[in-house]
Structure 1
């Protein structure tokens, strides 16, 4: 986005797209939208490190390509499946169990911090968290497909039955 002052009553905003398309919009100077866009533009110019430190950023020509598409080292399908599995596991948990897992794993709270906040014993929080993790694992194991590579996994299950 770039700005140009045509006169004192209007400001012209130019938006350049990747497709080499350019759109210009003229807005009144005293408009709240104009002021917000000008503030955003000033903040962007101040914090846009890509313009100031080229050594820290890659250009698109540096990425590997396969034909017309970029080649990715990540497996998008596997990531999607993993996210679905986590969503399924969380759906099978109680609200309390979801809270404990999110607080410990995602937010980084310790058992002691949660216990102090809830005025409970730390061991009670730890046990409730462990039960939530076990339940999430059982939900995930129920959805896990059988494969020829899961020999150690199936052997582990058989050992629990004994």
Structure 2
């Protein structure tokens, strides 16, 4: 079904369905079904006030990077906005590994605020999941959260501002908890 035929509500349902199908039996490091992660990212975006296209992109944010789907698959089904936002969240695995992360970070910085909003929701979920049952959060996870906050400092959309505030509060709480245990 082309993007022009999707109603605003249907775009969310279609994106959830596509993400569930594509992520299939993938699992996270803790053994939970991978699809739970994009579902939580989409939920965080919706709760922050994102429109249906941005919520759809939240469901799809890892499909280019982690499944056989590509930009054109998303473009055909969901339109250019959703495809562009998902692409902003996708590392190019054709690049040499030492160049991949810096290029990814630059594309997020240069890209649309919606891509950065998805990154914030992604970090909220990843950071929250990494805190469960842990005595300490790794420096890499802390730095990733701080970086996501920093690159969205100029984003004034209420969705981005809400998510940035949430991530900052989680980061502050984690720092306080782990400092008190030291």
TM class by shorter chain equals: under 0.3
Higher strand share: 1
TM-score, with length taken from structure 2: 0.22
Structure (1 or 2) with the greater helix fraction:
2
Name which structure has the greater RCO, CA cutoff 8 Å, separation 6+: 2
Between structure 1 and structure 2, the one with the greater Rg is 1
